[in-house]
Amino acid sequence: MAVQRAFCPRSKNSTSGSVLTQYSMLLILFICSLTSLNQNFTMDHNSLNFPPLSVSALNCNTLNLSSIGSFNHRLKLYGILKLRTDIIILSDVRIKSKTNVSAASSICNTFRTNPYGSYDFLYNSTDSVRGVGILLKKSCGFTVLSELREPKENALLLRIRKKGTDTDFLIGGVYCPNKNDPAFFTWINNQLLAQGDIPIILGGDWNTCVSSENVHSNIDLLNMASIPNKPHSELLQKICNDHDLCDPF
């Protein structure tokens, strides 16, 4: 069973029109238990001088297969690239195998040259567990101004700018720890505060839900006996409240 939710900030002055044209920040929250999920959406923030973007997020369950460079390996990577969005956020990428073999070169080459569009792949993954990555479509002309990597490889934050615009924004890939880890949320919060007042996009597998209401009335849950990692749910709520993030759907 998988439950997915997406979040963007509350619009303080909006009265009508599309939700996504009125918000300057967006947080996509994916809660994956047994099924990999992906979600696509388009932003067109003309009123805020925010470049129009399409964004998707996916739990990969490893990019490092035993058959690196083979047809089956390319097929898995092509499945990601078929999303064709401007930005693709990836969680659980596991760039290295359990035998310490890195697939980074093959993965980057395939993302760069393929039938579906050329992407730059930036990642925070040096082991056979966890790890996150972000794909940026080359034709969009993104410039990466800074890269922030969470020490335990649970998050990657990029400050970027799209060609032809003067607006910086933050794009972040997240694979939240399964066990209670308040330090992770402290790291996320500190990095967001340090970026100043710029648009933010966060996406990934959060291993919890934003609502901590009873499971019988919790709109984030389906066929579950309890809230997954309730302390993390409360910490995520605080992140959303502190940075004015909420659900666009």
Asked whether the predicted pLDDT for residue 33 surpasses 60, the reply is no
| CATH number of this structure's domain 2-242 | 3.60.10
The one-letter amino acid at 191: Q
Asked whether the predicted pLDDT for residue 228 surpasses 80, the reply is no
Q: Which positions ≥6 away from 75 have C-beta within 8 Å?
A: none
pLDDT: which is higher, 177 or 70? 177
Q: How is the chain split into domains, by residue range?
A: 2-242
CB 205 within 8 A of CB 2: no
Give dist(CA 150, CA 98) in Å, integer: 21
0.85 exceeded by the pTM? no
pLDDT in tens, 168-177: 999 999 999 9
Which pLDDT does position 244 carry in this prediction? 81
Asked whether the predicted pLDDT for residue 37 surpasses 70, the reply is no
Asked whether the predicted pLDDT for residue 235 surpasses 80, the reply is yes
Residue whose C-alpha is closest to residue 82's, from 108, 61, 109, 110: 110
Give residue 248's pLDDT band: very low, low, confident or very high (50, 70, 90): low
- Cα 51–Cα 56–Cα 57 angle in degrees, nearest 5: 135
- What's the whole-number average pLDDT of the chain? 77
pLDDT: which is higher, 2 or 53? 53
CB 5 within 8 A of CB 205: no
